[in-house]
Amino acid sequence: MPCIRRKEYVGKVKKRLKWLAKTLIITILAVVAICVVSIKFLNHKINENTTPDAVVEVRKSNFKLEAGSKLTQEPSYYFYVAGDDTILDEAEIDFESVDTNTPGEYEMPSLVGGEEYTLHIQIVDTTPPEIELSSTAYEVKVGEPLSTNDLVSGIKDVSPLASYEVDQDVIDTNGKLDKEANTFPEYIVRFTTAGIKTIVITAIDIYENETQEEVTIIVTDD
Protein backbone atom coordinates (compact mmCIF):
# COMPACT_ATOMS: atom_id res chain seq x y z
CA MET A 1 0.00 0.00 0.00
CA PRO A 2 2.72 2.55 0.79
CA CYS A 3 4.24 2.04 -2.66
CA ILE A 4 0.89 2.71 -4.36
CA ARG A 5 0.40 5.92 -2.41
CA ARG A 6 3.92 7.01 -3.20
CA LYS A 7 3.30 6.49 -6.92
CA GLU A 8 0.03 8.40 -6.70
CA TYR A 9 1.78 11.29 -4.95
CA VAL A 10 4.59 11.38 -7.54
CA GLY A 11 1.99 11.33 -10.31
CA LYS A 12 0.16 14.29 -8.80
CA VAL A 13 3.40 16.22 -8.42
CA LYS A 14 4.30 15.61 -12.08
CA LYS A 15 0.86 16.78 -13.20
CA ARG A 16 1.19 19.83 -10.99
CA LEU A 17 4.62 20.66 -12.47
CA LYS A 18 3.33 20.20 -16.03
CA TRP A 19 0.45 22.54 -15.27
CA LEU A 20 2.79 25.12 -13.76
CA ALA A 21 5.17 24.88 -16.74
CA LYS A 22 2.29 25.26 -19.18
CA THR A 23 0.91 28.21 -17.24
CA LEU A 24 4.36 29.83 -17.11
CA ILE A 25 4.86 29.45 -20.86
CA ILE A 26 1.44 30.93 -21.58
CA THR A 27 2.16 33.80 -19.22
CA ILE A 28 5.53 34.52 -20.86
CA LEU A 29 4.00 34.43 -24.33
CA ALA A 30 1.25 36.79 -23.20
CA VAL A 31 3.77 39.23 -21.73
CA VAL A 32 5.86 39.12 -24.93
CA ALA A 33 2.76 39.76 -27.05
CA ILE A 34 1.76 42.70 -24.86
CA CYS A 35 5.27 44.16 -25.12
CA VAL A 36 5.30 43.81 -28.91
CA VAL A 37 1.91 45.48 -29.24
CA SER A 38 2.95 48.26 -26.84
CA ILE A 39 6.17 48.95 -28.75
CA LYS A 40 4.31 49.13 -32.06
CA PHE A 41 1.74 51.46 -30.53
CA LEU A 42 4.41 53.75 -29.10
CA ASN A 43 6.30 53.84 -32.38
CA HIS A 44 3.08 54.75 -34.17
CA LYS A 45 2.47 57.62 -31.75
CA ILE A 46 6.06 58.84 -32.05
CA ASN A 47 5.83 58.82 -35.84
CA GLU A 48 2.60 60.78 -35.63
CA ASN A 49 4.21 63.50 -33.52
CA THR A 50 7.55 63.83 -35.31
CA THR A 51 8.53 64.72 -38.86
CA PRO A 52 10.90 62.61 -40.97
CA ASP A 53 14.54 63.55 -40.89
CA ALA A 54 15.43 66.37 -43.31
CA VAL A 55 18.82 67.50 -44.56
CA VAL A 56 19.04 71.25 -45.25
CA GLU A 57 21.64 72.76 -47.56
CA VAL A 58 22.28 76.34 -48.66
CA ARG A 59 22.02 76.42 -52.44
CA LYS A 60 24.89 78.91 -52.99
CA SER A 61 27.83 80.22 -51.02
CA ASN A 62 27.01 83.71 -52.29
CA PHE A 63 23.82 85.17 -53.76
CA LYS A 64 24.24 88.10 -56.14
CA LEU A 65 21.58 90.73 -56.76
CA GLU A 66 21.49 93.85 -58.93
CA ALA A 67 21.13 97.04 -56.91
CA GLY A 68 17.59 98.38 -56.94
CA SER A 69 16.07 94.92 -57.38
CA LYS A 70 13.93 93.06 -54.85
CA LEU A 71 15.11 90.09 -52.84
CA THR A 72 13.34 86.82 -53.60
CA GLN A 73 11.12 86.03 -50.61
CA GLU A 74 10.80 82.30 -51.38
CA PRO A 75 12.90 80.17 -48.92
CA SER A 76 13.37 77.41 -51.50
CA TYR A 77 15.42 79.88 -53.59
CA TYR A 78 18.05 79.91 -50.84
CA PHE A 79 17.71 76.40 -49.31
CA TYR A 80 17.53 72.86 -50.63
CA VAL A 81 15.89 70.26 -48.41
CA ALA A 82 16.35 66.52 -48.84
CA GLY A 83 13.45 64.88 -47.04
CA ASP A 84 10.62 66.78 -45.44
CA ASP A 85 10.68 70.11 -47.31
CA THR A 86 7.62 71.35 -45.40
CA ILE A 87 10.05 72.75 -42.81
CA LEU A 88 10.63 75.59 -45.29
CA ASP A 89 7.07 76.73 -44.54
CA GLU A 90 8.29 77.75 -41.08
CA ALA A 91 11.63 79.19 -42.22
CA GLU A 92 12.60 82.57 -40.79
CA ILE A 93 14.80 84.78 -43.00
CA ASP A 94 15.85 88.31 -42.02
CA PHE A 95 15.31 90.08 -45.34
CA GLU A 96 15.47 93.47 -43.59
CA SER A 97 19.19 92.99 -42.95
CA VAL A 98 19.96 93.69 -46.62
CA ASP A 99 19.82 97.15 -48.22
CA THR A 100 19.11 96.27 -51.85
CA ASN A 101 19.70 99.85 -52.99
CA THR A 102 23.28 100.03 -51.71
CA PRO A 103 25.98 97.81 -53.26
CA GLY A 104 28.00 95.81 -50.75
CA GLU A 105 28.37 92.50 -48.92
CA TYR A 106 25.58 91.53 -46.52
CA GLU A 107 24.84 88.66 -44.13
CA MET A 108 21.24 87.50 -43.89
CA PRO A 109 20.50 85.44 -40.73
CA SER A 110 18.09 82.55 -41.23
CA LEU A 111 16.46 79.81 -39.16
CA VAL A 112 15.37 76.58 -40.85
CA GLY A 113 14.28 73.43 -39.07
CA GLY A 114 15.60 74.76 -35.78
CA GLU A 115 19.08 75.31 -37.21
CA GLU A 116 20.70 78.72 -37.75
CA TYR A 117 22.21 79.65 -41.10
CA THR A 118 23.90 82.77 -42.49
CA LEU A 119 23.20 83.65 -46.12
CA HIS A 120 25.75 85.82 -47.90
CA ILE A 121 24.20 88.41 -50.19
CA GLN A 122 26.19 90.55 -52.61
CA ILE A 123 24.48 93.67 -53.97
CA VAL A 124 26.15 94.90 -57.17
CA ASP A 125 25.55 97.81 -59.53
CA THR A 126 26.20 97.00 -63.17
CA THR A 127 23.41 99.16 -64.58
CA PRO A 128 24.39 102.43 -66.33
CA PRO A 129 22.75 105.69 -65.29
CA GLU A 130 19.61 106.64 -67.20
CA ILE A 131 19.73 110.12 -68.73
CA GLU A 132 16.24 111.51 -69.16
CA LEU A 133 16.08 113.93 -72.10
CA SER A 134 13.53 116.70 -72.39
CA SER A 135 13.84 116.38 -76.16
CA THR A 136 16.10 114.66 -78.66
CA ALA A 137 16.16 117.79 -80.84
CA TYR A 138 16.48 121.43 -79.87
CA GLU A 139 16.64 124.71 -81.82
CA VAL A 140 18.82 127.66 -80.89
CA LYS A 141 20.22 130.76 -82.65
CA VAL A 142 23.89 131.38 -83.41
CA GLY A 143 25.59 132.91 -80.39
CA GLU A 144 22.62 132.22 -78.10
CA PRO A 145 23.51 130.53 -74.78
CA LEU A 146 22.16 127.00 -74.45
CA SER A 147 21.70 125.35 -71.04
CA THR A 148 22.05 121.60 -70.70
CA ASN A 149 19.18 121.82 -68.20
CA ASP A 150 16.96 122.54 -71.21
CA LEU A 151 18.07 119.23 -72.67
CA VAL A 152 18.26 116.97 -69.61
CA SER A 153 15.36 116.70 -67.19
CA GLY A 154 17.04 114.25 -64.84
CA ILE A 155 19.36 111.29 -64.31
CA LYS A 156 18.28 108.06 -62.65
CA ASP A 157 20.75 105.75 -60.93
CA VAL A 158 20.75 103.83 -57.67
CA SER A 159 24.37 104.85 -57.17
CA PRO A 160 25.90 108.36 -57.02
CA LEU A 161 27.33 109.91 -60.17
CA ALA A 162 31.09 110.18 -60.55
CA SER A 163 31.12 112.17 -63.77
CA TYR A 164 28.76 114.25 -65.90
CA GLU A 165 30.13 115.85 -69.07
CA VAL A 166 29.19 117.28 -72.46
CA ASP A 167 31.38 117.15 -75.58
CA GLN A 168 31.10 120.89 -76.37
CA ASP A 169 33.09 123.87 -75.18
CA VAL A 170 31.47 125.10 -71.99
CA ILE A 171 31.33 128.86 -71.50
CA ASP A 172 29.84 128.72 -68.02
CA THR A 173 28.92 126.25 -65.28
CA ASN A 174 26.27 126.52 -62.58
CA GLY A 175 26.33 124.18 -59.63
CA LYS A 176 28.50 121.14 -59.25
CA LEU A 177 28.40 117.40 -59.18
CA ASP A 178 27.28 116.28 -55.72
CA LYS A 179 27.67 112.55 -55.12
CA GLU A 180 25.73 112.60 -51.87
CA ALA A 181 22.75 114.57 -53.20
CA ASN A 182 23.17 112.95 -56.63
CA THR A 183 22.85 116.30 -58.37
CA PHE A 184 24.70 117.37 -61.50
CA PRO A 185 25.89 120.78 -62.82
CA GLU A 186 24.29 122.96 -65.45
CA TYR A 187 26.55 123.60 -68.43
CA ILE A 188 26.15 126.62 -70.73
CA VAL A 189 27.32 126.19 -74.31
CA ARG A 190 27.21 128.47 -77.35
CA PHE A 191 27.44 127.74 -81.07
CA THR A 192 29.12 130.31 -83.34
CA THR A 193 28.03 128.85 -86.68
CA ALA A 194 24.72 127.74 -88.08
CA GLY A 195 23.92 124.15 -88.95
CA ILE A 196 22.87 120.88 -87.42
CA LYS A 197 25.00 120.10 -84.42
CA THR A 198 25.13 117.25 -81.94
CA ILE A 199 25.71 117.36 -78.21
CA VAL A 200 26.79 114.13 -76.55
CA ILE A 201 26.00 113.96 -72.83
CA THR A 202 27.90 111.39 -70.76
CA ALA A 203 27.10 110.20 -67.25
CA ILE A 204 29.26 107.75 -65.25
CA ASP A 205 28.43 106.45 -61.79
CA ILE A 206 30.88 105.54 -59.03
CA TYR A 207 30.93 101.91 -60.22
CA GLU A 208 32.10 103.04 -63.69
CA ASN A 209 28.81 102.27 -65.37
CA GLU A 210 28.62 104.68 -68.30
CA THR A 211 25.83 105.91 -70.52
CA GLN A 212 25.61 108.48 -73.31
CA GLU A 213 22.76 110.33 -74.95
CA GLU A 214 22.86 112.46 -78.09
CA VAL A 215 20.78 115.58 -78.67
CA THR A 216 20.47 117.15 -82.10
CA ILE A 217 20.84 120.94 -81.99
CA ILE A 218 19.51 122.96 -84.92
CA VAL A 219 21.50 126.21 -84.96
CA THR A 220 19.98 129.02 -87.04
CA ASP A 221 21.39 132.41 -87.97
CA ASP A 222 18.03 134.19 -88.18
Return the pLDDT at 49: 45
- C-alpha span between 58 and 71 (Å, rounded): 16
pTM for the full model?
0.68
pLDDT tens digits, 96-130: 999 999 999 999 999 998 999 999 999 999 999 99
User: Any idea which fold 130-220 has?
Assistant: Immunoglobulin-like (2.60.40)
Express each pLDDT in 47-68 by its tens digit: 444 445 679 999 998 999 999 9
Q: What is the DSSP letter of 27?
A: H
Check: CB of residue 106 under 8 Å from CB of residue 84: no
Which residues of the chain, if any, have pLDDT below 70?
1-22, 24, 29, 35-38, 40-53
DSSP class of 75: G
Q: Domain map of the chain by residue range?
A: 1-40, 55-124, 130-220
Evaluate whether 55-124 and 130-220 have a shared fold.
yes
Q: How far apart are CA 195 and CA 190, in angstroms?
A: 13
Give the strand order in the sheet containing 161-166: 137-141, 210-220, 195-205, 161-166
Intra-chain end-to-end CA distance of the chain, in Å = 162
pLDDT for res 50: 42
Q: Class of 55-124 per CATH?
A: mainly beta
Q: Is 77 helix (H, G, I), strand (E, B) or coil?
A: helix
